[in-house]
Amino acid sequence: MTSKLETVTQNIQTSAEESGRKQEDITLVAVSKTKPIEDIIPLLDQGHRVFGENKVQEAANKWPDLRERYRSVELHLIGPLQSNKVRQAIHIFDVIETLDRPKLARALSRISQEEDISCPCYIQINIGHEAQKAGIAPEEADAFIALCREELALPVIGLMCIPPSGQDPAPYFRQMKEIAERNGLAKLSMGMSRDYQTAVRSGATSVRVGTALFGARSYPK
């Protein structure tokens, strides 16, 4: 029987090939938020190592044990980060994908220095200008990227977004690629269960997939 992991991986490969890209250039971030350890272990046993969680405390409860049992796990924070949780977050996560405001950038910079931890980050862009979504407005992206890199010396590696639901995501993904290119950023985290194939065809270097790997979540985020 084909596992969900194999199906998603195959779909990524197909979309990559359709757009003249290589599968190795796209990372699958398996979004395990709300899912218990028993649901995560089968993916680890299949060799998958990159996971995303959206809450600091939930990750702190689930991942230390799993990391002891499985080597070279890479854990991404994909949910909002409060400034008062930064210290804990940089010890638990390997990558922070949701750098979304100056106050957080300043806290991350200061605390990373204090703890002597360099945590690669993505800047979250509110690509659809949605009031309910976090992120930097696209027209403010260049200035915020410069602040993070130059003034705060943060290791910014890419951009992340969640496009508006119920619309064709492709134009939003294209805009993301433009912002990344003009700022010399190599990584683009975009695409979820509903649109990861479009994201891959639009240049995503990582896709964050939950439902298509784990099934529906039993309670809303």
Ligand X SMILES: *Cc1c(COP(=O)(O)O)cnc(C)c1O
Binding stretches for ligand X (CB under 6 A): 31, 33, 54, 78-79, 162, 192-194, 208-212, 221
Determine the Cα–Cα distance for residues 126 and 141; give it in Å rounded to an integer: 9
Closer residue to ligand X in complex, CB, 49/133: 133
Measured from the CB atom, is 88 or 193 closer to ligand X? 193
Min CB(176)–ligand X separation in Å: 14
CA distances from 59 to 63, 114, 162, 205, 210 (A): 6, 22, 21, 23, 15
Q: How far is the CB of 33 from ligand X (least distance, A)?
A: 6
* Beta carbon of residue 189, minimum distance to ligand X (angstroms, whole number): 8
Rounded CA-CA distance 184/178 in Å is 10
Neighbours of 27 (CB within 10 A): 18
Residue nearest to ligand X (CB): 210
CB of 179 to ligand X, least distance (A): 18
